[in-house]
Structure 1
Amino acid sequence: MLEKQVLKKLLASAFDVPVMVTYWDGTSENYGEGLPAIHIKLNTKLNMKDLTKTPTLVLAEAYMNKDIEIEGSIQELITSAYRKHDSFLTNQDGFKGLLSKFVHSHGEKESKADIHSHYDIGNDFYEKWLDSTMTYSCAYWIREDMTLEEAQMAKVHHILDKLDSKPGQSLLDIGCGWGTLIITAAQEYGLKSTGVTLSEEQYAFVVNRIKELHLEELVTVKLVDYRELGDMTFDFVTSVGMFEHVGKENLGLYFKKVNEYLKPRGRALIHGITGQHEGAGVDPFIAKYIFPGGYIPNVAENMQHIMNAQLQLDDLEPLRRHYQRTLEEWYKNYMPVFDETVAAYGEPFARMWDLYLQGCAASFESGNIDVIQFLMTKGPSGTNLPMSRSYIYKNEK
């Protein structure tokens, strides 16, 4: 009975929307005013000691194993918890002391293992719910009626347009994913493009795509750690959704490498998930099951590393609402293939991705995290750029 009493007290202040909770003994309780649109079923007792230390991990594992079932929107539920600043689910003060447990060394060997655990699940898995561009990062919604594919291509064009490149110049994409950016840079902008990845699945996909499109003269992909490119230099460096993976201890080195790979007066566009407030930078569920070794830096951390790397800021653009929309679109694509995912990978895995996609959408919706594009110059800011930012948007329709 003590576990139930403690949990009831915690749940009473966890959300700002009405919620019904059915406990393991069959009794139900309504929390909040109004008719509950969300029903949480607790099928077994939870370990209260672990729950109060790492609530997101304990509850996520319970959901994966069907010890918890949720009827209604998980995104709405988690967003509601973020709005309740005193909710035990989102107050991470008690978790900060456990940060070292979930942040491990991020040398080249560890980086390859971490990337393999997420991106080498299999291209067929991602093909089920990504769009045809196989772009696994924040899209850019110029218009509300855009398809996901159109919004992903708009993001690629937005990045390349910010660089204000000229045909014949060179570009390095650190963490090139399935290659849409480097291929578009070559086909539409005339850039000689190089991509690097540690994912064997992505590497094989990009190599095949380059051959199919007969782009061997313009596009190269390397299966190599971004730190091991020697003395190669480029007019431009891009990196989309990458710095979140390098580890807290390597962020400074990452931005220094961006500087090293740029020619004098070269430009970099770095796009990644960050925060606009102080925080632990790691969620234990995400760290254990989704992105091992990952770390979300806040804006101040990134700016300090940018300055230390002798780069100067040209432009900073938050795209939080765009990533919320992207995740919502991914979730719409994922649910029709949920049963296929269960058959291929098991129900805990399928439920883990259900929770991950909705939970991340909630985190962006609430402002807990953001995604920001940093445009930088190796040298005085704005070198060789138009005086007005209007050049960025001249092709957007």
Structure 2
Amino acid sequence: MLEKTFYKMMLSKSFPFPVKVTYWDGKSEVYGNGTPEIEIVFNEKIPISAITKNASLTLGEGYMDKKIEIHGDIQKLIMGAYESADSFMRSSKFRKFIPKTKHTEKQSEEDVQSHYDIGNDFYKLWLDPTMTYSCAYFEDGNTDDLEKAQIAKVHHILNKLHPEKGKTLLDIGCGWGTLMLTAAKEYGLKVTGVTLSEEQYKLVQKRIYDDGLEDVAEVKLEDYRELGDQKWDYITSVGMFEHVGSENLPEYFADVYKHLNRDGVALIHGITRQQGGATNAWINKYIFPGGYIPGLQEIVGDIVGSGLQIADMETLRRHYQRTLEIWDKNFNNAREQIQDKMGERFTRMWDMYLNACAASFESGNIDVIQYLLTKGPSGKNLPMTRNYMLEK
């Protein structure tokens, strides 16, 4: 009886729409007015102590282990929990964040490889053909063409740099290489990419060789902190600073400053919480070990503290929501293959992760921002207005 009272307290005001909840004893209740489109089924009783200790970890594991089933739109359910003012997702009693941790180079390598070295074959099943694993840029907001939107994102980033042919570019956390190779092929830049993922490194090497770009492109399997004193005219880093940890953010931006030539320009693209930095225990344990989403004030402080200046900032929150929705659609189109290869628990985990992230962006719980930075007076060598960023 005590458990039912607790669950009712937790769930009855957590959603701005009606939700049906079926408990472990087979009895159901509808919370909210109207006909529910979503049902939560508790196949097992989950201890109150576990939920209050860490709701995101306990409920995430409950879904992975089929202790919890969700019938209906998972993204809508989670978004509703973020949106409702009385939701357990917004209550300090339930929201637990693990402490900030410092990332050594060895820890960073292990963390990155645990996520990105799942296997290129896995990511090929649901990413677009460019193998771009970051927020796309939807010039046409209604399109489902993810490949077109990812290519548009690459051009949007490179155009912001206002690059000159023949100059050099460093891509920190280069992924599977689409941005750096586009910079070499279409912008005439000499490019260097760095990654800690062996799978990414091998594929980028192959792409460089296949495209005959050995004279203008190289990829390094090493930490960005191992680059010595080399300098570049431009630096890009997409979806990277989420991995460095709060304690290392000042060093990260100091390294961006260090590796830029005089009057150099950098475009840093990363997930940011406007409400302040945090990390989610379930995602940290199962998806992104060592991950930390920094707060906007924290990021701006670290940028300014490094000596860099901000020339422009752009939020792409809705673009990342759309990207994740398409990824999840692709993921579920390949669900049978993924489950045969990786198992049901893994598949449920990733489906929940993609939906939870889409909901988090939709609700404004997290954002993604592009920071255009300069070494020297902001915008010194950039056009006077932002119009140049949109030129084809």
TM-score for the superposition, normalised by structure 2: 0.98
Per the alignment, residue 67 of structure 2 pairs with 67
Tell me how many residue pairs correspond in the alignment: 391
**Aligned-residue offset at 1:99:** 2.4
Aligned residue runs from structure 1 range 276-355, under 5 A:
276-279=274-277, 281-355=278-352
Is 1:112 matched up with 2:109?
yes
Paired residue type of 2:113: H
How well do the aligned residues superpose, as a CA RMSD in angstroms?
1.1
Separation in 2 of the partners of 1:338 and 1:236? Answer: 40
Aligned-residue offset at 1:93: 5.8
Q: Which of these residues, 221, 224, 229, is aligned with residue 222 of structure 2?
A: 224
Q: Post-superposition shift, 1:312?
A: 0.5
1:148 paired residue number = 146
Distance across 1 between alignment mates of 2:49 and 2:88: 13
- Preserved CA contact (<8 Å) 2:257 2:375: yes
2:123 aligned partner: 126
Among candidates 180, 197, 212, match of residue 210 of structure 2: 212
Aligned with 1:331: secondary structure?
helix
> SS at 1:89's partner residue?
helix
1:39 aligns to 2:39 (yes or no): yes
Unpaired segments ≥5 residues, structure 2:
none
Whole-Å Cα distance in 2 between the matches of residues 93 and 184 of structure 1? 47
**3-state secondary structure, aligned to 1:152:** helix
Residues 1:99 and 2:98 aligned together? yes
Tell me how far apart the structure 1 counterparts of residues 262 and 156 of structure 2 sit (CA, whole Å): 23
Offset of residue 85 of structure 1: 2.3
Mapped partners of 1:382, 1:149: distance in 2:
31
Contact 2:315 2:369 in 1 (8 A): yes
Q: Select 2:377's aligned residue among 372, 377, 380.
A: 380
CA contact (8 A) 2:265 2:372 kept: yes
Superposed displacement of residue 146, structure 1: 5.5
Partner of residue 138, structure 1: 135
Q: Distance in 1 between matches of 2:267 and 2:92?
A: 31
Contact kept? 1:197, 1:222, Cα under 8 Å: yes
Amino acid at match of 1:187: K
Partners of 1:337 and 1:151 lie apart in 2 by: 21
1:183 to 181, 184, 197: 181
SS at match of 2:88: coil
SS in structure 2 at match of 1:99: coil
Does 1:80 find its partner at 2:80? Answer: yes
Q: Deviations over 1:286-334 (max 9, x none)?
A: 1111111111011110000001000011000000000000000101100
In 1, Cα distance between equivalents of 2:301 and 2:91:
26
The offset of 1:278, in angstroms, is 2.8
Please report how far the alpha carbon of residue 393 of structure 1 lies from its aligned counterpart in structure 2 after TM superposition.
0.5
SS of structure 2 residue aligned to 1:271:
strand
For residue 104 of structure 1, report the CA deviation from its aligned partner: 3.5
Question: What CA distance in whole angstroms lies between the structure 1 residues aligned with 2:88 and 2:371?
Answer: 33
Instruction: Give SS of 1:156's match.
Output: helix
Task: Assess, with a 3 A threshold, how the Cα gap between structure 1 residues 115 and 247 changes in structure 2: closer, same or farther.
Answer: same
Q: Is the 8 A contact 2:169 2:190 kept in 1?
A: yes
**Are the equivalent residues in 2 in contact too, given 1:81–1:89 (CA < 8 A)?**
yes
Distance 2:227 2:264 in 1: 17
> Could you tell me how far apart the structure 2 residues matched to 1:92 and 1:391 are?
45
User: Which residue does 1:55 correspond to in 2?
Assistant: 55
**How far does the alpha carbon of each residue in 1:7-57 deviate from its partner, in whole angstroms, 9 at most, with x for none?**
112111111111001000000000011100001110000011110221111
TM-score between both structures, scaled by the size of structure 1: 0.97
Consecutive aligned runs of 4 or more in structure 1 exceeding 3 Å deviation:
92-96
Cα 1:93/1:187, change in 2 over 3 Å:
farther
Query: What SS does the aligned partner of 2:63 have?
Result: helix
Alpha-carbon shift at residue 89 of structure 1 (Å): 2.5
Cα offset, 1:253, TM superposition:
0.3
Equivalents in 2 of 1:301, 1:191: separation in Å?
32
Listed as ranges, the gaps of 5+ residues in structure 1 are none
- In structure 1, what is the Cα distance between the partners aligned to 2:169 and 2:82? 39
The AA in structure 2 aligned to 1:137 is S
- Aligned-partner Cα distance in 2 for 1:184–1:93: 47
Contact 1:52/1:88 (<8 A) preserved: no
- Aligned partner of residue 13 in structure 1, secondary structure: coil
| Cα distance in structure 1, aligned partners of 2:9 and 2:160 | 51
**1:94/1:28 CA distance change after superposition, 3 Å:** closer
SS at match of 1:269: strand
Distance 1:348 1:335 in 2: 14
SS in 1 for 2:89: coil
Alignment partner of 1:211: what SS? helix
Letter in 2 for 1:152: Q
Q: Read off the aligned partner of 1:52 and give its amino acid letter.
A: T
**Amino acid paired to 2:389:** I
SS in structure 1 of the partner of residue 90 of structure 2 = coil
Contact kept, 8 Å, 2:88 with 2:94, in 1: the verdict is: no
Q: C-alpha deviations, 1:255-280, integer Å up to 9, x for none? A: 0000000001000000000011135x
State percent identity of aligned pairs: 58
Match of 1:241 in 2: 239
CA deviations 1:335-389 (Å, max 9, x no partner) are 0111211111111100000000000000000000000000010000111111111
Matched residue type, 1:139: A
Aligned with 1:300: secondary structure? helix
